[in-house]
Structure 1
């Protein structure tokens, strides 16, 4: 990917996270990225295609995080590593997570990304379920839903509800909870 295209994606992600997709124009993106509309339209057909590209890239990052986790053998260790990775990414890529949160609550973006959202949800669910299958076949589906809901709730509270959210303490509690799950 070209440096300018990458910059447009980075700037658009930040603007979509801060202002929302609906309130961000191509002109806003061009101005903040210090590029021409021609350059943006050279790489992207529309604002919607920028949104799809961002969402696809974040999904690919999630898949990559999951691949790192699969290198570990014990399922409890896989969960511990997954939790560590999620919290590291949540802290390091706050704008990306805010972007994801915003698009999930905006009907217009949810409609544009329906196929990508479904794909991501399926990948996420199946990868977490594979870990829980190793712990308890009969409870793996329910444990997967609970784990994903916990992560989503933590991310929501960290990104948009509390100013001084005790993210490190919560990570430790989650790590302790899943350390010896059976």
Structure 2
């Protein structure tokens, strides 16, 4: 076996083991010791390829976001109705997370319980995913008529404001609630509704 192939196999073994570790535990509870003992990997081998726990974790986060972005890109969208388009997008996300539970845990931990000292690095790693979301949102917006005093740029800005507020609410819940899987389900269920409220409000139009 060539040296490059051996190196790639070693790195893949470490990353696959790390994805399981970070995919079943929070960043704080995951450890290199578990990765080593559960997978018969020496700590020296890990440190040969990765500087520390942070670097290994960020590699797993990158893989997670790259795989999710690639999966969503593989679907061909026909934008016809905003609410249906959003629901379709969220259904695809749900399918990906259902089929890849380890990625699900890594994704939502970075969104709801990100290690404070790694927030900037995580933000950089998810740039393609965020750009994809903006493209999807802009395409869906073409199927609604914006108010005359709201530009497309403002609509996108409000989308991010609502998203930050929404995730901020669930971040506080994440630290209060030990049932993280239930919290994830609630997050995804309410996301569609909050987007609908953002667009159409909560008040029923009164008839004169």
Which of 158, 181, 194 matches 1:160?
Answer: 181
CA contact (8 A) 2:110 2:122 kept: no
Q: CA 1:6–1:131 in structure 2 vs 1: closer, same or farther (change >3 Å)?
A: farther
User: What is the rounded CA distance, in whole Å, between the counterparts of 2:135 and 2:122 in structure 1?
Assistant: 16
CA contact (8 A) 1:129 1:144 kept: no
TM-align CA RMSD: 4.2
CA contact (8 A) 1:17 1:102 kept: no
User: What is the rounded CA distance, in whole Å, between the counterparts of 1:34 and 1:44 in structure 2?
Assistant: 17
TM-score, normalised to structure 1's length?
0.66
Answer yes or no: is 1:87 the counterpart of 2:108: no
Q: Stretches of 4+ moved more than 4 A in 1?
A: 75-81, 142-150, 156-159
User: What is the rounded CA distance, in whole Å, between the counterparts of 1:90 and 1:82 in structure 2?
Assistant: 13
TM-score, normalised to structure 2's length?
0.59
Larger Rg: 2
The corresponding residue for 1:102 is: 109
The corresponding residue for 2:78 is: 73
Answer yes or no: is 1:127 the counterpart of 2:140: no
Unaligned runs of 5+ in 2: 1-6, 148-154, 201-208
Larger helix percent: 1
- Note the C-alpha offset of 1:118: 5.3
- Note the C-alpha offset of 1:75: 4.4
- Note the C-alpha offset of 1:144: 7.6
The corresponding residue for 2:8 is: 2
